[in-house]
Amino acid sequence: MLDVVWADIDGTQITVNALVYLLWFIWVGWIFSTVGAFGGIMAGVGHLSVFGIGDWAAKMKGVKVNIPGYTDAGKYLTDTIRFGNSVQTWFNAIASTINWQMQKRLVWPAGISLGIGGVLGAQVGVWVTGGQVAAAVYMGIFGLATYLIAGYMIYQLTPRAKRSKKAGKEAAQRFQQKVKELREQGKLHELEGIRNLKVSLTATTFDFYGESFKLSNYSPLIVGF
């Protein structure tokens, strides 16, 4: 019931529960909005483990298929997992962009740079590894990425990392306080967000609730890639 076909390989149908998938989509979006990059890990966990597509990819390793660009069913399923992860990331990016724009907190040069990096990275990944990665290899890379992101998250708890984000955190707190005040007064439309946005070839500067920030235009591109 509510099962939909994820892939049909020579009559073998691999299905996922549509309702569970939707709920997992929401869960991943919440993780993205609160923890950031770990949302991508949760998307992968869903496809690999929760929905069992990783097991199917391992089972069908070496099974011949007649799908454009593919001869191995296991590698084809591995690529569907990668695509599924990307789709969840794209949906989250679209929703977050709309939300941040409505809150007047969107630094559009950084967003565009990050988006271009993500698209280029995904396309290069297809060109270089499309149809070439076995399930076991992908799971190994996925596991390594999980450890790296976990290490980064642990680093963010250190005093040094907290100091580097102090200005941004304080500005965000002032912003949230202003939102609360204006909402209580029924004047939320008067909310001010990013101010004095200036864009050059290499950097973007702006003011946000008492703090000035400078961002490299290339860093988001590299991160997205």
pLDDT at residue 225 is higher than 70: no
pLDDT per residue over 158-168, tens digit each?
A: 888 778 778 77
Residue 1: what pLDDT? 67
**pTM for this structure?**
0.78
- Can you tell me the distance from the alpha carbon of 163 to that of 150, in angstroms, rounded to the nearest whole number? 20
Mean pLDDT of 202-213: 85
pLDDT per residue over 69-106, tens digit each?
A: 888 999 999 999 988 888 888 888 888 888 888 888 88
**Torsions phi, psi for 218 (to 5 deg):** -95, -25
- Can you tell me the distance from the alpha carbon of 26 to that of 15, in angstroms, rounded to the nearest whole number? 19
Side chain identity at residue 124, one-letter code: V
